[in-house]
């Protein structure tokens, strides 16, 4: 395709003026031909062409077989040998957060505290007096070094406060489980320079204000303590949220994502999704988990029940999200044994296990999936215990409940088989292994890493179904990067040479399935999406090269050339 117009050579969108070969045979709206199609259908794993009518696949097969569907009004896409798969499914992300990250400071690429301060200083120059400076994406363990004072593994606020003395600043950690505030933000929140005996209960109840030896806050607020600052940040206006929604949709399409599993939506976000659906602007299929943090909203949904397949399967609300612990990066993940790099610290139980049990029980009663964020080995064990208890009390409803644990990042070896035994789905993000593994060993130590961290093959061998994704905006939504991490277990720089714990690599077929059919299964949608076969929605992703065959070191060079949703081309790479 180099030096040639991709619109002409690649998509070859033409209206073919020929008669149908079989007299009286129904013609298709769309035919895609001359492709290298991986169907993710075990009965017929490869194909060359697809016929689509009304946004649904009607036939799959060889070119000569599908030609009979072409009529004078049929739109034809000639792939000219390009690779196509079922539309990719982001199995765990934060939809509106992805768009909002683009409207605030993006800090994923920051490599030092100085660079972070420079970004904030630039934002202050553009801001109005007193306007909040918001951002997300910093990760101290990924920096080249931390300048100045370090307290419990984190930087302190002095440099941040110096560049923004009058504008309050709050910057979320890449994980979303910690926040960094300047002096002005802490002043507004009334945190201030408190003595040790004045510590608020938020310091120990599911969160922590990181303080120096004198008891003064360093600017780091971990887990639930972030709310002390967050409640003072003005809500975004409707116009800004709508713009964030538009940006999120476009970001999905540019990355080949045709369906998105939204891991925790509140009242306003659910309304916004409905508005976009009603306006015909929801160009990506959205599957939403209701956030359990709003118990009033949760009770409303118990009474209402799930809403499935709205707007031609573009919007489904049928799951509940619980947040049970924090993240390894912020040392908030709840562990059975203390952190290797912080003596006496075990992380945080951010939601009482009794609440997890109550939601698990009510989910079965009202027909909702329950999806619980659990990263540490203790959290995973406790959540599995709560699920199992609810399942035993209502075995009929639990027969195919498909409850999920979101992340399942660090497991005790004894708990790994329980996923398959209980039918609990680990919704994992392979890119977290690539991004976190170089420093996660400092948190857990080598033995815990080898025995139970990012153990994809052990889980698959237990009979579990893995749902892949990126946890965007914690990581970029790029599915190629997560696919590469799945099959290589390397960083995006290609290190180490053999990959981390290489026996846990996924095969390419497993990795593709985790982004398509298994992700669909994780949402009770395997009968309508996730593979290229008749009767399923016409969602497809087309690539610049064959990511199933190219050498491993070339996988990251793959680009998304086209994204098709419901039989309509929604994105073409320039």
What DSSP state is assigned to residue 251? H
Rounded to two decimals, the pTM is 0.87
Q: Give the C-alpha separation, 491 to 431, whole Å.
A: 9
Residue 285, domain member (yes or no): no
Which pLDDT tens digit goes with each residue over 307-352? 999 999 999 999 999 999 999 988 999 999 999 999 999 999 999 9
| Domain limits for position 58 | 1-87+530-574
Whether the CB-CB separation of 566 and 1 falls below 8 Å is answered with: no
Q: Identify the CA nearest to 364 among candidates 392, 328, 340, 345.
A: 392
pLDDT of residue 25: 64
Residue 125, domain member (yes or no): yes
Q: What are phi and psi of 135, to 5 degrees?
A: -165, 175
Residue 325, domain member (yes or no): yes
pLDDT of residue 174: 84
Q: What are phi and psi of 197, to 5 degrees?
A: -70, -10
Q: Give the C-alpha separation, 315 to 308, whole Å.
A: 7
Question: CB-hemisphere CA count at 13 Å for 232?
Answer: 20
Residues of the chain with pLDDT > 70, as a percent, come to: 93
Which pLDDT tens digit goes with each residue over 345-393? 999 999 999 999 999 999 999 999 999 999 999 999 999 999 999 999 9
Are residue 343 and residue 223 in the same domain, yes or no?
Answer: no
Are residue 104 and residue 82 in the same domain, yes or no?
Answer: no
Which pLDDT tens digit goes with each residue over 476-533? 999 999 999 999 999 999 999 999 999 999 999 999 999 999 999 999 999 999 999 9
pLDDT of residue 205: 64
pLDDT of residue 22: 43
Are residue 309 and residue 226 in the same domain, yes or no?
Answer: no
DSSP string covering 105-134: EE-TT--BHHHHHHHHHHHHHHSPTTPPEE
pLDDT of residue 72: 94
Residue 213 pLDDT greater than 90, yes or no: no
Contacts of 350 (CB under 8 A, 6+ apart): 206, 207, 223, 224, 323, 324, 325, 326, 332
* Average pLDDT value over all residues in the chain: 92
* DSSP H or E run through 287: strand 285-291
> CATH number for the domain including 83?
2.30.40.10
Domain boundary among 209, 230, 251: 230
> Averaged over 74-97, what is the pLDDT?
98
Which pLDDT tens digit goes with each residue over 147-162? 788 898 899 999 999 9
| Both tokens assigned to 400 | 């195919």
Residue 281, domain member (yes or no): no
pLDDT of residue 215: 87
Residue 445 pLDDT greater than 90, yes or no: yes
Are residue 514 and residue 549 in the same domain, yes or no?
Answer: no
Domain boundary among 487, 502, 526: 526
Are residue 498 and residue 570 in the same domain, yes or no?
Answer: no
- Confidence bin at 257 (pLDDT 50/70/90): very high
How many domains does the chain divide into? Answer: 3
Domain boundary among 179, 207, 230: 230
pLDDT of residue 235: 82
Are residue 12 and residue 67 in the same domain, yes or no?
Answer: yes
Are residue 118 and residue 206 in the same domain, yes or no?
Answer: yes
Are residue 196 and residue 136 in the same domain, yes or no?
Answer: yes
Residue 53, domain member (yes or no): yes
> CATH number for the domain including 471?
3.20.20.140
Of 77-91, 149-163, 278-292, 392-406, give the lowest mean pLDDT range.
Answer: 149-163
Residue 249, domain member (yes or no): no
Residue 451 pLDDT greater than 80, yes or no: yes
> Averaged over 404-419, what is the pLDDT?
98
Give the SS3 label for residue 520.
helix
Q: Give the C-alpha separation, 543 to 564, whole Å.
A: 12
> CATH number for the domain including 183?
3.10.310.70
What DSSP state is assigned to residue 7? I
Are residue 223 and residue 311 in the same domain, yes or no?
Answer: no
Are residue 108 and residue 169 in the same domain, yes or no?
Answer: yes
Q: Give the C-alpha separation, 439 to 312, whole Å.
A: 44
Residue 396 pLDDT greater than 60, yes or no: yes
> Averaged over 64-81, what is the pLDDT?
96
Are residue 297 and residue 334 in the same domain, yes or no?
Answer: yes
Higher local confidence (pLDDT), 227 or 302: 302
Residue 357, domain member (yes or no): yes
> Averaged over 222-250, what is the pLDDT?
90
- Confidence bin at 19 (pLDDT 50/70/90): very low
Residue 64 pLDDT greater than 90, yes or no: yes
pLDDT of residue 527: 98
DSSP string covering 167-196: S-EEEEETTSSEEEE-HHHHHHHT--S--G
What DSSP state is assigned to residue 47? E
Residue 241, domain member (yes or no): no
pLDDT of residue 198: 41
Residue 432 pLDDT greater than 70, yes or no: yes
pLDDT of residue 13: 43
Are residue 325 and residue 460 in the same domain, yes or no?
Answer: yes
């Amino acid at each position: 395709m180099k030096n040639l117009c991709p619109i002409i050579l690649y998509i070859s969108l033409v209206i073919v003026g020929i008669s149908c070969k079989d007299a009286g045979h129904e013609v298709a709206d769309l035919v895609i031909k001359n492709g290298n199609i991986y169907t993710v259908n075990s009965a017929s794993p490869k194909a060359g062409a697809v016929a689509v009518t009304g946004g649904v696949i009607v036939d799959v097969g060889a070119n000569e077989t599908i030609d009979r569907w072409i009529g004078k009004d049929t739109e034809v896409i000639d792939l000219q040998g390009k690779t196509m798969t079922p539309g990719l499914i982001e199995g765990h992300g934060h939809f509106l957060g992805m768009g909002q990250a683009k409207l605030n400071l993006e800090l994923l690429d920051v490599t030092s505290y100085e660079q972070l301060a420079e970004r904030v200083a630039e934002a202050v120059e553009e801001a109005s007096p007193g306007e909040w400076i918001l951002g997300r994406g910093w990760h101290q363990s990924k920096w080249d070094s931390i300048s100045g004072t370090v307290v419990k593994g984190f930087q302190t606020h002095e440099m941040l406060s110096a560049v923004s003395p009058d504008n309050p600043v709050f910057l979320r950690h890449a994980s979303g489980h910690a926040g960094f505030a300047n002096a002005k933000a802490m002043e507004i929140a009334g945190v201030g320079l408190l003595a040790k005996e004045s510590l608020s209960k938020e310091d120990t109840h599911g969160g922590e204000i990181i303080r120096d030896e004198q008891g003064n806050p360093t600017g780091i607020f971990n887990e639930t303590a972030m709310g002390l600052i967050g409640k003072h940040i003005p809500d975004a206006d409707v116009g800004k949220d709508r713009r964030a929604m538009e940006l999120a949709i476009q970001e999905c399409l540019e990355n080949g994502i045709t369906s998105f599993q939204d891991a925790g939506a509140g009242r306003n976000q659910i309304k916004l999704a409905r508005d976009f659906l009603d306006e015909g602007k929801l160009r990506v299929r959205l599957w939403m988990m209701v956030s359990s943090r709003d118990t009033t909203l949760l009770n409303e949904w118990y009474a209402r029940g799930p809403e499935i397949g709205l707007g031609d399967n573009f919007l489904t609300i049928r799951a509940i999200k619980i947040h049970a612990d924090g993240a390894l990066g912020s040392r908030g993940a709840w562990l059975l044994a203390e952190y290797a790099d912080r003596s006496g610290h075990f992380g945080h139980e951010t939601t009482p296990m009794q609440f997890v049990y109550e939601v698990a029980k009510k989910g079965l009663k009202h027909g909702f999936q329950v999806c619980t964020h659990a990263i540490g080995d203790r959290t995973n064990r406790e959540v599995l215990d709560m699920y199992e208890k609810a399942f035993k009390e209502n075995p009929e409803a639990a027969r195919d409940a498909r409850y999920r644990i979101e992340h399942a990042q660090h497991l005790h070896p004894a708990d790994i088989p329980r996923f398959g035994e209980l039918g609990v789905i680990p919704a994992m993000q392979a890119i977290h292994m690539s991004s976190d593994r170089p420093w996660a060993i400092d948190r857990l130590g080598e033995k815990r890493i080898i025995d139970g961290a990012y153990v994809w093959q052990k889980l698959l061998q237990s009979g579990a179904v893995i749902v892949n994704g990126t946890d965007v905006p914690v990581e970029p939504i790029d599915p190629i990067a997560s696919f590469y991490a799945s099959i290589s277990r390397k960083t995006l720089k290609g290190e180490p040479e053999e990959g981390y714990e290489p026996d846990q690599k996924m095969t390419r077929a497993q990795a593709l399935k985790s982004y398509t059919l298994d992700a669909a299964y994780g949402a009770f949608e395997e009968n309508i999406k996730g593979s290229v076969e008749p009767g399923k929605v016409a969602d497809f992703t087309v690539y610049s090269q064959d990511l199933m065959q190219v050498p491993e070191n070339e996988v990251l060079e793959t680009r998304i050339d086209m994204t098709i949703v419901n039989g309509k081309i929604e994105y073409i790479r320039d």
